Amino acid sequence: MRHFPKGFVMSSDRVLVVIGRTRHKMVVAELQEAVKRGAKFVELRLDFLAKAVDFKRLTPLKQCPWVATLRRPSDGGRYNGTEPERMMILRQAIVSGAFEWVDLETDIAGSVPRFGPVKRIISYHNTTETPANLEEIYAAMLDQDGDVYKVAVAAHTTDDVARVIQLQRSAPKPTVAFCMGDLGQPTRFLSLKFGAPWIYAAFNKERGIAPGLPSFDEFRTTYPVKSISADTKVYGVVGDPVGHSLSPLLHNHMYKKLGVDALYLPFRVLRGQLGPALEAYEKIPVHGYSVTIPHKEAAAALAREAEPNVQVTGAANTLVRRDDGKFVAANTDYAAATESLKAHLVDRAKGGPVTQLSQLSVLLLGAGGVARSVAFSLHREGAQITITSRTYERAQRLAEDVKCKAVDWHARHNVTFDVLINCTPVGMHPNVDESPCHFSVLKPGTIVFDTIYTPETTLLIREALARGCDTITGVDMFVRQAARQIELFTGLLPDVTVMRQIMRKALSPLTKAFEENEGGDVPHPEPPKADDE
């Protein structure tokens, strides 16, 4: 059941945009720009201001409802004055006529009487933990005179996340409950699915307003918060780290284009905690996961069923929920790399005889999750493989499993090859001036395949092009494996060409806005982290 406060008109995008600046002039500038970009509900963090605010000077700028918030350091704020002074400023804000809403912490709400039409958010913030008595704290808040109740706590385990989701899900009054930090970031979006009247967003994410607070632009580029409902299916990427993954952007855009009511989220899960996490998120439920480091082997082991390529590689990058709640494991990386290579060989043949992978020698850089899938897939095609890794023991173990050759990292430049495949993170943003090999080994006609997709044109790819090599970028493999995941999740075939266009826009200086009319350009998301070696 969705709860809306009495007399409150929901903004069309369900986003409460938070503005926190130290100078009045910058507050004015961000207020104007936020409305220009479509903000319909704004929270002013008065505790960020270096000087006392003149509410009369702000009032003429109003173009949408405002929330007044003056947060103490103990609650995650920056106000450094005395408590009597803070209470006086809050009362002034309430009677000023500038604000439709005021945020009052639960311990002071009883000391600030309701005034006129100003609505009240009763809030509880805990920036250090999810307290054992959180449910008791929330029950006491519900007895206070509020229009909306806000609970924001720090999560350290998936059990913390599950508790907050359950609190939101069973809320008897309008409530916004979520966990701060990247571990709990999914709860910010799931609160909308389970009845929250709005979601918080930072107009300027770099201001450090709250841990894990998403930016307003992310809702325009990546997350379709306008359409989230109780019926929305949930998918996500699980790993550590996942905060910079472009998978949410790509999947959410494709679900929209396919007409699927679904939301794809990043789920950070610590190493060794995949099992408990899947159990904790059963009640949401999450219908499917993309799996990245360090959980690919664990995903394969936990699944009730597994596709043959999972059994071969011992790793899974996809989990699909069955009707009985158990998971089927797949490895879409397995075929994606060889499909990219085969497509390139067909294009290179230009209608003539196509070179087969079995005719090629491959030098594989790396021995991690992606390298493992690529190695087994190439071995099946009959390619002659040599594996090298910065940790020789890992390369040797993988080579023994695949039944191919391994060489020491320092000897990689002595290997003769037709195809070079980089499965290490060397050259990935922000270390874009690095390369996993010396450019002297890049001979004209050699195929150079870099599985990194941020940036798409890595230093390795750039130098390979300059030396007359054929190149394949990580975007192609990333899109192919994601397309197969979407098919497994939804039963629908996505348009791979459209997916490539979305990725290239996301990786360019500007990316298309995620709005109903798909109009306007906004800054692109932060580049994602790649799979480690």
Helices 185-193 + 158-169 axis angle, to 10: 20
Contact in structure between 52 and 27 (CB atoms under 8 Å): no
Q: What is the pLDDT of residues 443-457, one digit of tens each?
A: 999 999 999 988 899
Q: How many angstroms separate the CA atoms of 439 and 446, rounded?
A: 12
Q: What is the pLDDT of residues 250-286, one digit of tens each?
A: 999 999 999 999 999 999 999 999 999 999 999 899 9
Q: What is the mean pLDDT of residues 369-379?
A: 93
Q: What is the pLDDT of residues 424-445, one digit of tens each?
A: 989 988 889 999 999 999 999 9
Tell me the DSSP string of 196-238: -S-EEEESSGGG--STTPPBHHHHHHT--GGG--TT-EEEEEE
Instruction: Report strand pairing: 101-105 vs 119-126.
Output: parallel
- The residue annotated as part of the active site, out of 125, 193, 233, 379, is 125
Helices 474-490 + 496-507 axis angle, to 10: 130
pLDDT classification of 514: cutoffs 50, 70, 90: very low
Instruction: Report strand pairing: 447-450 vs 521-523.
Output: unpaired
- The residue annotated as part of the active site, out of 47, 240, 333, 531, is 333
Q: Which residue has the tokens 């192609």?
A: 476
13 pLDDT above the threshold of 70: no
Give residues with Cβ within 8 angstroms of 61, minimum separation 6. Answer: 28, 31, 32
Is residue 333 part of the annotated active site? The answer reads: yes
Q: What is the pLDDT of residues 64-87, one digit of tens each?
A: 999 999 999 999 999 999 999 999
What integer pLDDT is reported at residue 61 of this predicted model? 84
Give the DSSP letter of residue 355. P
